Structure 1
Amino acid sequence: MLTNYHTHTYRCGHAAAVPDEDYVRQALETGFQILGFSDHTPWPYRSGFLNPGVRMPLPELPEYLASIRSLREKYAGKIQILLGLECEYFPEYLDWLRGVRSELDYLILGNHFALTDEPGATAFSIASTPEAVEEYTEDTLAGMRTGLFSYLAHPELVLAQYPAFDAVTERCAVRLCREAKQLDLPLECNLYGMIKRENGVFSGLGYPCREFWQIAAAEGCRAVIGFDAHRPQQLAELTHYSAARSMLEELGIPIVEELSLV
């Protein structure tokens, strides 16, 4: 069964400037049974902050919801289309997120920033210190425990520029994986990370990180394979999908193909 719950749209400002329907058409051509849209969530910043190269502005959210719902109706019987958002753990806005959640099929936790992405915040994808790894772990654990999310996206995101799998990263990986097992929360093996590694984006370990997934296997975690598609063509690139699947199967990690939505 071919599924993907991690699909972005042009609204986030760093995905292809194409109609949402292009992703659906490519998914059908490739043979997907389920396609979930989970663009980067807007946040109702009290300061009025905007981050247009990272996430959609809040006024665009209703149109995003309407667009994906329209595609779901149009392609009913051909492919199951789900409506979601990818969110950080920003505790200041959790009440707002709980309200939005009722309009969605699911949320995924992709913890890119420390508590906010306003100026001065730690961006975990470019951080490279042990302190940042610890901060990422604490914040992500708190997000996992909210019960809002159907899975944790790119759980080893903070290793993108981190130089080595050392005692700090091992300890933090164990904590994340142990909590994921306790919560029965799947971890995402992120295919976009493979593309970024090939393109030289990572100066550190990057992701997927095999050492992390060895710990996930030892802790009894389950995995979701996420395309993290920022352009429709990614949904046709099954070489990375096959590589991720082979690694997970080799490690004995069960692969979740049809997600239990919370």
Structure 2
Amino acid sequence: MNFDLHTHHFRCGHADGNIRDYIEAGIAAGLDVIGISDHSPYFGSPDEQAFPRIAMAKSELARYVQEVLSLQQEYEGRIDVLLGMESDYFPEHAELYRKTFAAYPFDYVIGSVHHVEEVSIFNKSRWKGLGTEQQLAAKAEYYRLIAESARSGMFQVLGHIDAMKGNYPPFSEIAAPQEIDEALRIIGECGPAIEINTSGGTKLCGGWYPSDEILERALHFGVEVTFGSDAHKPSRVADQRNQVAARLKEIGFQYWVYYKQRGKIKVAL
């Protein structure tokens, strides 16, 4: 059973193509299951579209859901199209997001921490002039938020859990083993899967998220894993999926998971 749970399209403002393009790319890549999971609207602002090149407009949410469900029926028997969503995790707005998502039949929601102390994790300028203690504090806060997102119960999948290295590769060298282990322990206890996300290859860090070292620790803490290309253009659907599967088996994982109607489905590696 070949799947990819993490894809985007034009509604978020920084991806190419429409939903049908990604479904067709999934079929061409030999997928049995494709998850459509564009960036959710930003509900913490009264504005219709607070971040037009980052997340979809509020008025697009119902249209997005309707389009995915329509294509789900159209492609039945050819590929299983899942209704997903990638949501930021903002603790102060968590209940608003939870209530909003509950009104729609999502198969799964990916929870991603994209901001730490109100600055994008991909903004490499955030690291300028920071000393060792300040860098460690930023990394510790990132993993505290990831752990809190796991505890929230809002998400079936946690997205790219070391993506802060994306445009700042030295992030990986900031020593925070206790903070990472504590986050993985909580994720293991609370049950969401972490994704192996291959979009890191499009950033300065190269490779994928998370690192092999984190995956080895995740296995130790009983954390389950899934796969997402995080494709922002159709040509990246299922990117490096087979290489990821092979590496997971080497690390010691025996299966990975995907979600349908919020239910977990295990697939042997």
Q: Same fold (TM over 0.5)?
A: yes
Q: How does 1:1-262 map to 2 (within 5 A)?
A: 1-16=1-16, 18-48=17-47, 50-102=50-102, 103=104, 104-114=106-116, 121-126=118-123, 127-128=126-127, 129-160=135-166, 161-163=168-170, 165-166=172-173, 168-193=175-200, 195-197=201-203, 201-202=204-205, 207-235=209-237, 237=239, 240-259=240-259, 261=262
Q: Supply the distance in 2 between the matched residues of 1:87 and 1:196 (Cα, whole angstroms).
A: 21
Verify the 8 A CA contact 1:221 1:254 in the aligned structure 2.
no
Q: Supply the distance in 2 between the matched residues of 1:86 and 1:142 (Cα, whole angstroms).
A: 17
Q: Supply the distance in 2 between the matched residues of 1:29 and 1:185 (Cα, whole angstroms).
A: 29
Q: Supply the distance in 2 between the matched residues of 1:188 and 1:125 (Cα, whole angstroms).
A: 18
Structure (1/2) with the larger strand percentage: 2
The runs of 4+ residues in structure 1 deviating greater than 6 Å are none
Verify the 8 A CA contact 1:3 1:32 in the aligned structure 2.
yes
Q: Supply the distance in 2 between the matched residues of 1:108 and 1:182 (Cα, whole angstroms).
A: 18
Letter in 2 for 1:176: A
Verify the 8 A CA contact 2:9 2:232 in the aligned structure 1.
yes
Gaps of 5+ in 2: 128-134, 264-269
Identity of aligned residues (%): 27
Q: Supply the distance in 2 between the matched residues of 1:246 and 1:34 (Cα, whole angstroms).
A: 19
Deviation per residue, 1:163-214 (Å, 9 max, x gap): 1545733222211211111112211111111x225xxx239x9733222222
RMSD: 2.2
Q: Supply the distance in 1 between the matched residues of 2:171 and 2:235 (Cα, whole angstroms).
A: 32
Deviation per residue, 1:211-258 (Å, 9 max, x gap): 222222332322112111111111254xx2222222211111243243
Letter in 2 for 1:196: T
Cross-structure match for 1:118:
none
Q: Residues 98, 208 of structure 1: CA spacing in aligned structure 2 closer, same or farther, 3 A cutoff?
A: closer
Letter in 2 for 1:90: F
Q: Shift of residue 109 of structure 1?
A: 0.8
Q: Supply the distance in 2 between the matched residues of 1:15 and 1:84 (Cα, whole angstroms).
A: 16
Letter in 2 for 1:97: Y
SS of aligned partner of 2:144: helix
Q: Shift of residue 47 of structure 1?
A: 5.0
Q: Supply the distance in 1 between the matched residues of 2:171 and 2:28 (Cα, whole angstroms).
A: 40
Q: Supply the distance in 2 between the matched residues of 1:168 and 1:233 (Cα, whole angstroms).
A: 36
Verify the 8 A CA contact 2:228 2:238 in the aligned structure 1.
no
Gaps of 5+ in 1: 116-120
TM-score, normalising length: structure 2: 0.84
